[in-house]
Amino acid sequence: MSSDIRDSLRHHSTETALVTGNPTFAGVTADISAIAESKTPRAWYIAIAITGSLALMFFGLIVHLILTGLGVWGINIPVGWGFAIINFVFWVGIGHAGTLISAILFLLRQRWRTSINRFAEAMTLFAIMCAGIFPAIHVGRLWVIYWMFPLPNQMGVWPNFRSPLLWDVFAVGTYFTCSLLFWYVGLIPDLATFRDRAKTKIRRIVFGFLSLGWRGGNRHWRHYELAYLILAGISTPLVLSVHSVVSTDFSVSQLPGWHTTIFPPYFVVGAIFSGFAMVVTLAIILRKIFKLQNYITLFHLEKMNKIMLVTSLMVGYAYAIEFFIAWYSGNQYELFTFINRATGNYAWAYWIMVSCNVLIPQLFWSKKIRTSIPAMLIISLLINVGMWFERFVIVVTSLSRDFLPSSWGDYSPTIFDLGLLVGSFGLFLTLFLLFIRFFPVIAMSEVKTVIPDAEVHRER
Amino acid sequence: MMKKNNQDRQWRSFREFAESGNNAHVEPSEFSDESFLKEHFPGAIESAGDFVSRRSFLSLMSASLALAGLAGCRRPVEKIIPYVIPPEEVIPGVPQYYATTMPFGLQSFGLIVETHEGRPTKIEGNKDHPSTRGLADPFILASILELYDPDRSQKVMNNGSVSDWSDFDSYWKIIFDTHLADRGKGLAVIGSSFNSPTLHHLRRRFLDTFPEAHWIAYEPISDENILRGVEAATGEPQLPEYSFDRARIILSLDCDFLGSETGAIKNAANFARSRYPDIESNAMNRLYCVEGNHSITGAMADHRLALPPSKVEIFLLMLIDGLKRLDLSLPAKIPSADITIEFDRKFVEVLAADLFANKNHALICAGKTQPPTVHALVCLLNSLLNPENELVRYNRLPYALIPDTVAFNSLMTQIKAGHISTLIMLDTNLAYCAPADIDFAQAVAGVRNKIHFGTYYDETAALSNWHLPAAHYLESWGDAVSIDGVRSVAQPLIAPLYGGRSVVEIAAQLAAGQPENGYEIVRRTWRGIIEDSFEFNWRKVLHDGFYSESTPNVARPDFTPLGKYLAAEPFSSAPDIRHGLELTFIQSPSTYDGRYANLSWLQELPDPVTKITWDNPARIGAALARNLDLRDGDMIAVNNQGAVLELPIIVTPGIADGVIVIELGYGRTAVGRVGNGVGFNTFRLRRSQDPYFVNGVAVAKTGGRYKLVCTQEHHSMKGRPLIRQADLAYFRSHPEFASEMVEHPPLKSLWKEPELTGDYQWGMVIDLNSCIGCGACTIACQSENNIPVVGKEGVARGREMHWIRVDRYFSGSADSPDMLFMPVPCQHCENAPCEQVCPVQATVHDHEGLNAMVYNRCVGTRYCSNNCPYKVRRFNFFNYTKSMPETLKMLQNPDVTVRSRGVMEKCTYCIQRINRAKISAKIENRRVSDGEILTACQQACPTNAITFGDISDSASRVSKMKSDPRNYELLAELNNRPRTSYLARIKNPNPALVDNHDTIPLQRQDERKSS
């Protein structure tokens, strides 16, 4: 690190404390490890009983779906995609914040990210898992879905590399793999800490295995930091590419309302927007339950709220420019689609989207609201509602009213669609609960670099 | 698709059928034995069609070995022999074609039936038979489904318990002998009408045996009014037949001659022929339509006047007044219309002038719903407007049993009085379709012996002592005379599946007391018809499907009785205008009079006008809906002189104000699993005095709602250039108006297009000027391509599977709209948007320009459908064929894959037919000739609106059509380059009746309105 950066860091950390309460190195380890090592709280059992049931329901519904057919959903011709694709895009979007926080903010030397990157990354992984299930189960014949992969075969039949759905397979697959690696590499020093603190044999074996023989030696640290930096470098373009590619699922088609060039940046911004909202939601709950207020401070939350404010404005700009271009293009189908979005029979969804994504986040201009925990909890939840509806509006309104009025048709979800949406939250939260119970929710080794103790040593 | 090398096979067929006919009842084939079926397929009869129960699943599995034989057992041979020694000329996998005849009331249709290894799979019109000329309508095409319908009656029933034919034979012998003694006193047969030499002879024989017995025909929907009207004019009941191909001015008086009238197939073909908009000549016809309902004929009209059916007679009198003013001399005294009705008087003036100016080319036709007086007057006018009488032909019906309401009513009076002890109901479902005021069930309660013979164990069967299962016409020997006098034989294609007897056999049994063999009976009749070398000519008749020596029974009426008839002033009843609303009853385009209610194809065929499936809501015009504050799906209570029925409504623009159109044929309670409980039994509103329309009906909104299911929910084109239409005059000055209607930047592709290098380049043209929206293409496609039905719930979810649909749009004002039709199959885009987005290349282009769908490769992402701007792709949301009954499996076309759950499907341009033709061309070392391949839709289309062929051959018909100035491609601005193109629709309005702005193409008008 150059001395300039070091200066700026020092300056930064002295301006606003990234960690409050002045914990010591040992204190950080003790605080964070306690979450995973103390006796399992009753609340956790209750919580996982609920989310686990929902997750089981999720898988039960999938089994029913596979046994019966896609007809159990509300999809039809013309609306061939429904909740499954909406949920897919939604969850992929959620999965944006984690890697963005870990990789991009790491490269930008935003050291405040250390308190939140671990669970944000975990959230990313779980969101991508939820996301990945939907495109798989939404196909008519799940049992031949491996044809989507370019597997050499004796018939010489390959997937169609012109199809954005195939790009999706690669984009999401790569993103998940890199995010997993990045998260895991980041975990190694903390897993070693857990191993060293383990009191049961099982913990010793499991964490011993997972920590890959980490001893904290200087060479380890050097390789580790380099690997982390490289992975951050690899992950950074993926953050931008994954949702750009997801957006091509729509923008490559001919459908009015889908066929627009603004989609890639618009989707990426929307994803970051919804991802941060989800991080804030989880962070508020985490710090409250596990008393992590010293680690995840108001300062962190406010920063994220500011990002949400900015991305909200960008999303709002995208909404506006879509309308403008629809009019400016002189394409009657395009113009009709957008007028229909705002005034047609799905106008309610459109206005939920606009209110939650553009209007309500403007409250963050006020410092008071920006730093109010209840306010930001409500707003972040509403943003995710809004972002879900954004995908609903894109998928459903465009499909339900395309070129030939004769084939227009409406879409309404069935109980199975709703069940899978709710169930995916169950799965997500179950995985998250397991994560906080068994893994360090905050990157101890990284936090230690931003506590006052670290500063002192460095100064000396 | 009858080719030369098929001829021998057809010769061959006759012998096999003949032999089977000889022996069918002596030695029934092992598999048709019911005990065998019961033993081996216990669930097939009761539970097939529902989800397979474990028991039926197991039993089907255990019988799977026998299944292989089941398909073969339907070959009409008397001994089961292994295929080691195959029947001569039968090549497994190569279909054979046999000619037969479908009787339909007084009409009959000459057909060619495709069979695969003894299973009939597809019905087509017989190209050489004048009744169809190779074309078809939905009823004909779907009747093959009736053959295999597992709900058809399968057992002789005696007072509700299962019996058998021998019991009935001995029972009837007793009854027969009893009535021999009393000369048939108290013996009556009510049948459906027929036009058949054999049945005619048998009926005469029956009446000779029982001089005091009755044998009358009752039909809920018939041409009786026409026949009575012509009888009044000519002294004899004759059926008029119009030459629409030579008419220049046509006036239809409540006459849906393209849809529901007798001879509609022929009419449609002829009408389309004279409708061709030629830039050079003035040959295009002009159609004026006066009607209460908005029919598909009304949709084709250049000028349409919506008038309640009861006022058509006054309109006709006003027209006669108009013609009188033009110095048309009338031979008889016809009163002036003393009541005038409200409409634009200019219409009748201009119409009279147009008819008068086009003498010898003008034609008036009236619908069967109109009273005899109207028909008599129409006869008179036609004879005056066509002094040479070339456009109307009057056909005698020497072999027909004409439906007779008067005789029916008097017989019912006798029945009620207890004078009838034995009542035989032949192929008629009176308990369902008799007028409500007769109360048939009550009336026949006192009849001692009630015998019902019919296809289903229906409402009438349930109240009879005996029910006898009828064989399907494809299982029966029979004969028929088409309305233009061509005599044909109906030969069976398969031994009776369910042990039924044919109507001919039953009629013979009634007349002789003993069962007789149908084949022998028909041959006996035909010995009197075929004049010389009987065996040779008989075989030729079977091969050709008709007797070529037939001389049409054309009458040359002189209309002398008409003067006397008119002198009696039969008009008094007409101006009986009571207050209140008017009901008009129409036949169902799906179930006819209810007889096809169990045919799922027809139930799911969208109504051509309302696009409703699986229901028969009352249709009302926009004005009436406003007045009564009704929306689609609102329930109303209709009260016709005390008969009350609650049913939902659908607003149908263009229906005359104050008219409620009631569709018959729904609300069956005992027809089968498909048709039971579908829709509303509107026969309950019908009274015997006014069967077709009635005044003074009270209607009240009940406040209830009903779920109507429709395949098209948006009825306007939203100003989009979809169906392009112009007036003839505008077309003359701007021949290319259709392709010029859309301006777009140069169309460039993102990538290098693969070259299409095939020997043939397939393409299709659909002439929107000819399409009448009847839906025959949809059913033909369904039959050819094994397309499943999804039921009312499936359609409600938007999951109907039709590969070719007919889009229907309304344009103009809600009170006098234009109705426009556009059949939409897969457009086979050269630059297909569906292909580009499929991740697994399951939809790809072949080098002959076909957009092929590889079912095996499809994983079901549905992305192709999303990206299809025409939305012609269909997805298997469920396994629609999982619970298919065994018999329906026999119906499937073996050349077309039955699609599994989770795959996309769509129109293939009938690739199996293309390949069959290519294979035979290759064997004969030649190119496929133009017109050799007919797609199923093209083949059925009664107006020949669809043309398919090789567009790389500039001499092909399809290429010529594509060079027509009216040719345009739908959504061409998307650079999809569809291979299916459309010919714009041209209207030929009378310049005296249009304002100038109407000459602007339709599309522009819409735009102007919206801007």
Across the interface, whether the CB atoms of A77 and B714 are under 8 A apart is answered: no
Helix or strand run (H / E) with residue A410: none
Tell me: the pLDDT tens digits for A128-156?
999 999 999 999 999 999 998 888 888 88
CB burial of residue B802 (10 Å; 0-12, 13-18, 19+): buried
Residues B950-976 have a mean pLDDT of: 93
**C-alpha to C-alpha distance for B98 and B93, rounded to whole angstroms:** 16
Residue B1009 Cα distances to A188, B206, B813, B997, angstroms: 70, 67, 11, 12
Tokens 């970051």 -> residue: A272
Chain B CA closest to residue A69: B878
- Provide the pLDDT for residue B878: 93
B52/B791 Cα distance (integer angstroms) = 17
**Cβ within 8 Å of residue B711, ≥6 positions away:** B606, B611, B613, B795, B800, B802, B805
Identity of the residue numbered B471:
A
Question: What would the pLDDT profile of B865-908 be if each residue is shown by its tens digit?
Answer: 999 999 999 999 999 988 888 899 999 999 999 999 999 999 99
**Is 80 exceeded by the pLDDT of residue B67?**
no
- Residue B745: per-residue pLDDT: 85
Which run of H or of E encompasses B287?
Answer: strand B286-291
- Strands of B596-689 (E only): list them: 612-613, 618-620, 634-640, 643-651, 659-663
Provide, as residue numbers in chain A, all residues whose Cβ is less than 8 Å from the Cβ of B713.
408-410
3-state SS, residue B697: strand
- Residue B13 confidence (pLDDT) above 60: no
Q: Is the pLDDT of residue B344 over 80?
A: no
Could you read off the pLDDT of B161-179 as tens digits, one per residue?
Answer: 999 999 999 999 999 999 9
ipTM for the predicted complex: 0.91
What is the C-alpha separation between B518 and B496, in angstroms, rounded?
12
What are the tokens at B766?
């659909």
d(CA A140, CA A137): 8
Least confident of B199-213, B330-344, B756-770, B960-974: B330-344
Instruction: Confirm if B821 and B807 have CB atoms less than 8 A apart.
Output: yes
Give the closest residue to B371 by CA, choosing from B298, B312, B433, B436. Answer: B312
Q: What is the per-residue pLDDT across A165-196, written as a single tens digit (0 to 9) for each?
A: 999 889 999 999 998 999 899 999 999 999 99
CB contact under 8 A, A406 and B822: yes
Q: If you ran DSSP here, which 8-state letter would residue A100 be given? A: I
Q: How far, in Å, CA of B634 to CA of B630, rounded?
A: 6
B449 pLDDT exceeds 50? yes
The answer to whether A253 contacts B717, with C-beta atoms less than 8 Å apart, is: no
pLDDT at B461: 92
Mean pLDDT of B481-504: 91
**How confident is the model over A12-41, as pLDDT tens digits?**
544 566 777 777 888 888 888 888 888 888
- What one-letter code names the amino acid at B988? N
Residues with Cβ within 8 Å of B83's Cβ and at least 6 positions away in sequence, in order, are B72, B92
B554-555: strand order across its sheet: B239-242, B392-395, B554-555
Query: What are the structure tokens assigned to B622, written together?
Result: 């926009």
C-beta neighbour count of B371 within 10 angstroms: 22
The DSSP output letter for B464 is S
Q: Report helix, strand or coil for B518.
A: helix
- Which residues in chain A touch residue B837, judged by CB atoms under 8 angstroms apart? 162-165, 252-253
Which among B492, B479, B470 is positioned nearest to B524, based on CA atoms?
Answer: B479
Taking contacts as CB-CB distances below 8 angstroms, the residues of chain A near B835 are 160
Say if the Cβ atoms of A139 and B712 lie within 8 Å. no
Q: Are A101 and A125 in contact (CB under 8 A)?
A: no
What amino acid is encoded at A271 in this protein? A
CA gap B759, A35 in Å, rounded: 74
pTM for the full predicted model: 0.88
Cα–Cα distance for residue pair B844/B833, rounded to 1 Å? 10
Strands (E), B790-912: 805-812, 817-824, 843-845, 851-853, 874-875, 904-905
* Higher per-residue pLDDT: B140 or B549: B140
Q: Is the pLDDT of residue A112 over 90?
A: no
Put simply, the answer to whether B870 touches A403 (Cβ < 8 Å) is yes
Nearest residue on chain B to A73, alpha-carbon basis: B877
Structure tokens at B578: 């009571």
How far apart are alpha carbons B34 and B40 in whole angstroms?
Answer: 10
Distance CA B412, CA B352 (A): 44
A62 at the B interface (CB within 8 A)? no
d(Cα B423, Cα B446) in Å, to the nearest integer?
Answer: 11
- State the pLDDT at residue B48: 40
Alpha helices for B741-838 (secondary structure H): 776-784, 791-796, 833-837
Average pLDDT, chain A: 88
Q: Tell me which of B54 and A246 has the higher pLDDT.
A: A246
Cβ separation B716–A405 shorter than 8 A: yes
All residues of chain B having their beta carbon less than 8 Å from the beta carbon of residue A147 are 840, 857, 859
pLDDT in tens, B550-588: 666 777 777 777 777 777 766 655 445 556 789 999 999
- Please tell me if residue A335 touches chain B, with a CB cutoff of 8 Å: no
What is the Cα–Cα distance from A398 to A257, expressed in whole angstroms? 5
Give me the sign of the Cα torsion angle B695, B701, B704, B710. positive
Mutation test of the interface with chain B: which of A64, A75, A76, choosing the one with the most B Cβ atoms within 10 A? Answer: A76
Which residues in B lie closer than 8 A to residue A162 (C-beta atoms)? 836-837
Task: Measure the CA–CA gap between B799 and B208, rounded to whole angstroms.
Answer: 57
Write the pLDDT tens digit of every residue in B667-725: 999 999 999 999 999 999 998 888 899 888 889 999 999 999 999 988 888 888 999 99
Closest CA to A411 of B101, B372, B798, B943: B798
Phi then psi for residue B981, to 5 deg, are -125, 170
CA A270 to chain centre: 11
Nearest chain A alpha carbon to B709: A409
The Cα of B899 is separated from the nearest Cα of chain A by a number of Å equal to 12
| pLDDT for residue B267 is more than 80 | yes
Q: What is the SS3 string spanning B467-507? A: EEEECCHHHCCEEEECCCCCEEEECCCCCCCCCCECHHHHH
Taking residues A336-362, report their average pLDDT.
94
Q: Is the Cβ–Cβ distance between A280 and A301 less than 8 Å?
A: yes
The CA angle B996-B999-B1003, to the nearest 5 degrees, is 125
Of A69, A71, A148, the CB nearest to B839: A148
B197-209 and B518-529 are packed helices; what angle lies between their axes, rounded to 10 degrees?
A: 100
Q: pLDDT over 90 for what percent of chain A? A: 60
Determine how many CB atoms are found less than 10 A away from the CB of residue A64: 13
A328: closest CA of chain B, how far (Å): 15
Tell me, yes or no, if A256 comes closer than 8 A to chain B by beta carbon: no
Tokens of B402: 């004409």
Chain A nearest-CA distance from B605, in A, is 15
Give backbone dihedrals phi and psi of B290, rounded to 5 degrees, phi first: -115, 115
Predicted local distance difference test score (pLDDT) of residue B569: 67
Q: How far apart are CA B826 and CA B805, in angstroms?
A: 10
B44, B34 contact by CB (below 8 A):
no
pLDDT band at B756 (very low <50, low <70, confident <90, very high): confident
Asked whether the bond before B515 is cis by omega within 30 degrees of 0, the reply is no
Which whole-number Å values give the CA distances from B468 to B154, B293, B516, B675, in the listed order?
9, 38, 15, 20
Question: pLDDT at position B574, please?
Answer: 47
CA distances from B751 to A249, B73, B513, B795, B836 (A): 19, 56, 79, 39, 11
A336 in contact with B at a CB cutoff of 8 Å? yes
Read off the pLDDT of each residue in B21-39 and give the average, rounded to a whole number: 44
Spatial separation of the C-alpha atoms in residues A403 and B462, rounded to whole Å: 51
Compute CA distances B666 → B460, B502, B596, B679, B685, whole Å: 15, 26, 10, 5, 13
Q: Which residue has the tokens 């944006």?
A: A96
Q: Are B546 and B488 in contact (CB under 8 A)?
A: yes
Record the tokens describing residue A437, joined without a space: 């119970």
Amino acid at B289: C
Mean pLDDT rounded to a whole number for chain B = 86
| CB proximity A165 to B under 8 Å | yes
Q: Does A347 lie at the interface with B, CB-CB under 8 angstroms?
A: no
- Any chain B CB within 8 A of the CB of A328? no
Q: Which residue of A has its CA nearest to B873?
A: A77
Cβ-Cβ contacts under 8 Å for A218 (sequence gap 6 or more)? none
Beta bridge partners of B115: B96, B120
